[in-house]
Amino acid sequence: MTTFQRTDSNSIDFQDLVKLLDADLAIRDGSEHAFYAQYNKIVNIQHVVVCYLDEQPIGCGAFKEYDEHTVEIKRMYVKPAYRGKGIGLYILRELELWAAELHYPATILETGKKQPEAIRLYEKAGYHLIKNFGQYENVENSVCMSKDISL
């Protein structure tokens, strides 16, 4: 049975999944990994979703406030054996629902050109390309996206 737990970055399951995510990104991003890693710290993230299958953690995602109207989706990951089954989409929808419940009308996110499966997931979920924001503004490998999640 698949379940979703709302938690925070103190979750050991979330921390373990993020270690797997970071290892994967280190390979994909190569020499650019250190740049991205500095913006992906998980300390004090208050909004984390961990997905469980038969009580085993298989995926995660998080968000943090970007501004008073927007949250930034962060740290999306699904273990390779569970990819292609819609788990990432379910995690993303749970994050969007939670953010909307907290009265945020919009989400933004950053992913990389070297993560085409992530780009497809976000497009499938209704995200559209936007101008690169913040620290990603002049980063060639970054892809930034947004979605209106108003209830």
Residue 100 buriedness (CB in 10 A; 0-12 / 13-18 / 19+): middle
149 or 39, greater pLDDT: 149
Residue 32: is its pLDDT beyond 70? no
- Residue 34: DSSP 8-state: H
Distance between CA 31 and CA 37 in Å, rounded?
Answer: 11
pLDDT (0 to 100) of residue 29: 66
Kindly report, residue by residue over 49-60, the tens digit of the pLDDT: 999 999 999 999
pLDDT (0 to 100) of residue 24: 87
36 or 6, greater pLDDT: 6
Mean pLDDT of 91-99: 98
User: Quick check: pTM over 0.95?
Assistant: no
Domain with 6 in it: 2-148
Count of domains in the chain? 1
CATH number, domain with residue 109 = 3.40.630.30
